[in-house]
Structure formats: C-alpha cells, structure tokens
Amino acid sequence: MANRFRLGALRGIKIATIMQNPRSAFNPLHTMHTHARENLPGVRETADDATLTAAIEAVGLENAARVLKLYPFEMSGGMLQRMMIAMAVLCESPFIIADEPTTDLDVVAQARILDLLESIMQKQAPGMLLVTHDMGVVGASGG
C-alpha cells in the first residue's frame, strides 16, 4: 500500500504521462473540460480556464472553448492525443513518459505530434522517455 501511495504522489507532479491509446484513456461520459479539471487538482490548483485554453491552443487545437465542450468520441485520434499532451504540459512535471504517442496516427499527424514534443522539450526542458517500436519515430525524434 505504501508503494501505491508513493507512486500516486509522483503522478502528475513529478511524472506526467502521454498514453499510447488516448481513446481508451479518456472517459467517454465526460467532456474534455471535466477531464482537464479532474487531472489538475493537486497539480496546478491555480489553473484557470484561460490557462487551459492557452495549453490547448499551444498543442495546435483551434477553438479551445469548443474543444473543452467535446466528449472523447467527438474527437479524432490526433485531437485526443494533442489533448493528452496539453494535459501533460499543464502538469509542468520535470519528467514525461510518452508511451507510443504516435500510434494509429497518419504520417502527417505523427510529424505534428513529434514536432510538438520537440517544442515542449525546447521550451520547458523536461526529461522525456519516448517509448516506441517505430524506428521512423526514433529517427525523427533525434533518438
């Protein structure tokens, strides 16, 4: 039990995650606003809607107010992946685990996600563990 508590204390604060399959990571009964708010307590309690909007727009999702009202099933895989990245960025964790962040995305969307991750690395300088089996992704990420 103590180990589970210690891991829970690390999640979001010390380690942010970008899951392999964003469609299964989001509850289809909740809007993106609910997901973002649920993710933030204890991480960034001061995050207001303007902060959420800025993070969503920073990952390339236009009309953040509309995106926050969407349910996961109303979004494409690429949009969900970007939303997951926005939530990871909002945590401002010193370390990000990106588990197959480009799985099931077309080549153009893959390139955008990799560019976005590179941009995050340049701006915020977190450590990042990029988990992938795709050697093209490894090459594109400079790994």
Q: What CATH number is associated with residue 69? A: 3.40.50.300
Farthest-apart Cα atoms in the chain, separation: 44
pLDDT confidence band for 142 (50 / 70 / 90): low
Compute the distance between CA of residue 39 and CA of residue 71 in angstroms, rounded to an integer. 16
- Residue 87 contacts residue 51 (beta carbons within 8 Å): no
28, two tokens:
């289809």
Count of domains for the chain: 1
pLDDT tens digit sequence for 35-94:
888 776 554 555 677 888 888 888 888 899 999 999 999 999 889 988 998 888 888 788
Amino acid identity, residue 48? D
The domain containing residue 99 runs over which residues? Answer: 2-140
Predicted TM-score of the model (pTM): 0.77
